[in-house]
């Protein structure tokens, strides 16, 4: 007899839970079944590289690859407001250019190609071929933090 009482009570509780859930789902507005953007924030970026060494060139290319695969950035070459990343590199030792590179990265903001650019940040260091991927990821992450910090520079739409 106890078995029937417990199972009846369990079924009653389960029935109440499902009844409340179906009532809640019936009153919700249905969401559209169409794909949409994950993020409204897409920052236009332009990467400029100046250097004479292969390690710096690899760094520039890797940074552009990160921006191309991210949904937070868009590589932009048009004359629109954008963040500019200037990468300068030179061999650490002139006689052994494959050992390492000295690099400098400068972040700027420009409203157009004809206006003065605003300085945002800089990064300087020495890099070997083994550290290109890590440094590129770190620089993209720093770019993202600068984009969120200086988003107010973009004109209102």
Question: Does some domain include residue 11?
Answer: no
Is 24 contained in some domain? no
Residue 27 lies in a domain: no
Asked whether residue 14 is assigned to any structural domain, the reply reads: no
Buried b (16+ CB within 10 A) or exposed e, 8-27: eeeeeeeeeeeeeeeeeeee
Structural domain total, the chain: 1
pLDDT digits (tens, 9 = 90+) for 34-90: 655 444 678 899 999 999 889 999 999 999 999 999 888 998 888 889 999 999 999
Q: Is residue 108 part of a domain?
A: yes
Prediction pTM value = 0.71
Judge whether 56 lies within some domain: yes
| Range of the structural domain that residue 108 is part of | 43-153
CATH at 64:
3.40.50.10610
- Give residue-wise pLDDT tens across range 79-118: 889 999 999 999 987 777 677 899 999 999 999 888 899 9
In a domain, 15, yes or no: no
43: number of Cβ within 10 Å:
21
Residue 30 lies in a domain: no
Name the packing angle between helices 132-149 and 54-69 (round to 10°).
50
């Amino acid at each position: 007899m106890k078995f029937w009482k417990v199972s009846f009570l369990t079924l009653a509780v389960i029935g109440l839970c499902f009844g409340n859930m179906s009532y809640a789902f019936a009153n919700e507005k249905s969401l559209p079944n169409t794909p949409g953007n994950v993020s409204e924030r897409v920052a236009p970026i332009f990467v400029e590289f100046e250097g004479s060494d292969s390690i710096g060139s690899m760094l520039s290319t890797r940074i552009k690859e990160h921006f191309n695969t991210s949904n937070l950035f868009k590589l932009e070459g048009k004359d629109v407001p954008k963040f500019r990343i200037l990468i300068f590199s030179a061999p650490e030792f002139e006689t052994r250019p494959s050992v390492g590179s000295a690099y400098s990265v400068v972040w700027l903001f420009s409203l157009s190609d004809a206006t003065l650019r605003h300085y945002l940040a800089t990064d300087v260091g020495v890099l070997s071929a083994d550290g290109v991927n890590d440094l590129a990821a770190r620089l993209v992450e720093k770019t993202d933090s600068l984009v969120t910090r200086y988003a107010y520079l973009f004109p209102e739409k």
